[in-house]
Structure 1
């Protein structure tokens, strides 16, 4: 692939972990503003060269980097303010949407010890999440807010309250509006831990591990929905607002739409387990109403297998059968990779969507890199960065070869493929000198017409190391 070089132009320094980067036009204005949502619960926007606070919900967001007892953990955390989306008519109606982990909802977690499947021990392969009302990690909420005429944001209603089994895999940049359906798209991870212990992502009744459309035009007149984990626990008026696009999700850093003549190509990245990070693309899909899924479940029939997009997790990790890695006792330099869920791999083998491209956690090729975790996928439709027009740009948290400080994230790209083959990718070279500072690439964003790209970088992987973030614009 063609080598691409870019520059990183700093826009804002010394902010907290940036999870969402988007632009919108404020009511009464005529120019797009860059909005930055931070994991701890702040939303800023750039106006006239300076940074201004749009909304501060830190008091509403769970205290990050702590356990149930309130003691500090390792400092790595995947909860917090994870989603921000502006209504397509935000300029006129002032509506926007938030997804965050709720303060005061910390629980003990769904399992008391570290989980790893063992194909030789069937008791580890089909665990069930029981006692959900007491065995959970936290509660996530999706809310509708409005920017009032006096310029002050105010919460209008809660759309969903979701109980999560573990602290991780809650999605990031998890709210986006579909230009096709004008519905709010929520991307939920599989619930966390590793290897999806309860196989939530393939269970049609589980909210976890899905891509869900929410029809925000419909008013359910339910101001405070119950806290649930399954679709059939929701009140019927809420069920009627939901359709499911996809299942088999491990964890997704958002969804990106690319207009292609009179239709849209959808791109999503699925964060990997042990081997590979994957980006998927699809055009046609048949959204499944939640009421229809529930009806199929009641009569114990399989819903239309052609309806849902299936990314294959937990049976598949991208293009590979899901495995776990152990050291070879005879040769410590080698690893063996037993299948974790052979039966599920077989079951989903013909139903799953194949990736557009994948990159690997270990890759010795000189022009590639060892990845850690996919953190952003965006289409670039601008013409300023030569050879990137129409391409899919993505970011990885930290280059594996540089796991010791100073760490560097990775910027890369791939192209749309029409031959149904696994596509290649190429690293995008950058010229910015971070010197001795670590640079984890934590988020990727774009403007409304996808002609600009924004990169969120953090100097630490710990959520309680504050004000170490920088937002860059990616420029020629």
Structure 2
């Protein structure tokens, strides 16, 4: 793979944490505008070089960072425009609801859970008392840009109770060009190691990639707050299909046209070892009504062709491990299998990743990663060495270096020779000076010929106005 150098061209600065970057053509316009979503609840648009406010729902967003030292994974996490937005004005939001704060599903720090192979009770925890023991509620809403330019919330599509504050997904709403349906990508519910194994349980909403037929049963306006598919009314169940499970945390799904089909790309954030990018073309979705019916019959739905990313038994291409430290000789730290039974059960059904990269990597041309924050195919000609590649971002280099921190831009390619996919770092020329630069989001325009990256000076959402959005150019 070639060495690629790019320039980061600033578009807008001094904004809050950017979670979604994508373009759309506003009704009456002839060209695309870039939309920037911030975690705290703002949506800006940039048209002809001018920044404007599209929507501000900060009062609707849960109070962020108060219980976690400023770090948070909740907030405004998803924006998607209806395929016919130019004509019907419909768009969709995913966010964490103000006033919905709960005590959490387990006592202690939200990421403190670790399985103990010597204590079976830690391997098979159940999420009990869900109506009182939860962290917050996420909602998916339908909005409309009316002909008079006013924005209005039309209806709520889903209300989902979440056990912890982390792993809610980001860039979590996208429309499938293949089916025309809204796709919700949601993480396993949080903490560490998926303590309740929600991601592999077919009935749980957590840890899934879900298609929503927003054009069906549009009269439903007030869905109940749920955690499982069987808690939903049948008319809502009928609008939902599940296309994948085994998700830990996920920065969205992207699509690349390939003749008369679409390649789907999904990045899965790792636990302690590795970050992974998956791709698939063919898949067999499971209608939620079929999942619920199988449960009633005490049977398992037919999962031939169903996509399973393998979590929690597998972290990318590896059985899920956790580290046991050797204080005297850190180089001899042990890696112990966390969930052997889960790894065996999902070993045949899981989809192997397209490529992975490690949190620690001694190879001189690689990097140690922290968390995958975006995966996008690039089909443009403006950066010839990247044409046809899959570009991805990592939050920050994990190499034990001193501040300031730097995020990572890299790329991989689809292989036709059945070999494992390699990846390569993309060099950037921008001088961030003494400021940290966490790469928090990655986006494209409609035809995937332009790339945008969101950079933040902190990992804390309560450190305001430290964000810049760049275009990646030759």
Q: TM exceeds 0.5? A: yes
**In the alignment, what sits opposite 2:33?**
33
Show CA shifts across 1:79-134 (max 9, x none): 00000000111000000000000000000000003311011110100000000000
Give distance in 2, aligned partners of 1:442 and 1:352: 28
**In the alignment, what sits opposite 1:65?**
65
User: Aligned ranges for residues 95-110 of structure 1 at < 5 Å?
Assistant: 95-110=90-105
User: Aligned ranges for residues 419-458 of structure 1 at < 5 Å?
Assistant: 419-458=417-456
Give distance in 2, aligned partners of 1:469 and 1:407: 14
Give distance in 2, aligned partners of 1:335 and 1:110: 31
| Partner SS state of residue 338, structure 1 | strand
Give distance in 2, aligned partners of 1:227 and 1:248: 23
Aligned pair count reads 471
Conservation of the 8 A alpha-carbon contact between 2:32 and 2:47: no
Name which of 78, 82, 105 aligns with 1:83.
Answer: 78
Give distance in 1, aligned partners of 2:225 and 2:48: 41
Conservation of the 8 A alpha-carbon contact between 2:392 and 2:411: yes
Deviation at 1:173, TM superposition (A): 0.1
**In the alignment, what sits opposite 1:296?**
294
Distance 1:3 1:203, change over 3 A: same
Name which of 443, 457, 460 aligns with 2:458.
Answer: 460
Deviation at 1:164, TM superposition (A): 0.2
Conservation of the 8 A alpha-carbon contact between 2:370 and 2:397: yes
Give distance in 1, aligned partners of 2:419 and 2:268: 18
Deviation at 1:348, TM superposition (A): 0.4
Distance 1:352 1:421, change over 3 A: farther
**In the alignment, what sits opposite 1:112?**
107
Deviation at 1:305, TM superposition (A): 2.3
Deviation at 1:47, TM superposition (A): 2.0
Give distance in 1, aligned partners of 2:453 and 2:91: 22
Structure 2 residue ranges without an equivalent (≥5) = none
Give distance in 2, aligned partners of 1:220 and 1:125: 41
User: Aligned ranges for residues 145-164 of structure 1 at < 5 Å?
Assistant: 145-164=143-162
Asked if residue 236 in structure 1 is aligned to residue 231 in structure 2, the reply is no
Deviation at 1:330, TM superposition (A): 4.8
Distance 1:235 1:130, change over 3 A: same
Give distance in 2, aligned partners of 1:405 and 1:219: 52
Asked if residue 11 in structure 1 is aligned to residue 6 in structure 2, the reply is no
Give distance in 2, aligned partners of 1:322 and 1:403: 27
Conservation of the 8 A alpha-carbon contact between 1:82 and 1:173: yes
Show CA shifts across 1:387-423 (max 9, x none): 1111100000000025642100000000012344431
Deviation at 1:216, TM superposition (A): 0.5
**In the alignment, what sits opposite 2:195?**
197
Deviation at 1:350, TM superposition (A): 0.4
Distance 1:247 1:33, change over 3 A: same
Show CA shifts across 1:411-445 (max 9, x none): 00000123444310000000000010000000000
Give distance in 1, aligned partners of 2:218 and 2:152: 19
**In the alignment, what sits opposite 2:133?**
135
| Partner SS state of residue 107, structure 2 | coil
Moved more, 327-336 or 246-255: 327-336
**In the alignment, what sits opposite 1:470?**
468
Give distance in 2, aligned partners of 1:450 and 1:372: 26
**In the alignment, what sits opposite 1:24?**
24
| Partner SS state of residue 400, structure 1 | coil
Give distance in 2, aligned partners of 1:133 and 1:249: 23
Conservation of the 8 A alpha-carbon contact between 1:356 and 1:421: no
| Partner SS state of residue 387, structure 1 | helix
Give distance in 1, aligned partners of 2:375 and 2:37: 17
Deviation at 1:220, TM superposition (A): 4.5
| Partner SS state of residue 187, structure 1 | strand
| Partner SS state of residue 469, structure 2 | strand
Give distance in 2, aligned partners of 1:469 and 1:311: 32
Q: TM-score, normalised by structure 1?
A: 0.98
| Partner SS state of residue 392, structure 1 | strand
Give distance in 2, aligned partners of 1:402 and 1:155: 46
Conservation of the 8 A alpha-carbon contact between 1:220 and 1:237: no
Show CA shifts across 1:179-234 (max 9, x none): 00000000010000000000000000000000000001112522111000000000
**In the alignment, what sits opposite 2:42?**
42
Give distance in 2, aligned partners of 1:48 and 1:381: 23
Name which of 321, 324, 348 aligns with 1:323.
Answer: 321
| Partner SS state of residue 173, structure 1 | coil
Conservation of the 8 A alpha-carbon contact between 1:24 and 1:32: yes
**In the alignment, what sits opposite 1:70?**
none
Moved more, 20-29 or 106-115: 106-115
Show CA shifts across 1:136-160 (max 9, x none): 0000000000001111211011000
| Partner SS state of residue 384, structure 2 | coil
Conservation of the 8 A alpha-carbon contact between 1:355 and 1:422: no
Deviation at 1:464, TM superposition (A): 0.4
**In the alignment, what sits opposite 1:94?**
89
Give distance in 1, aligned partners of 2:403 and 2:274: 23
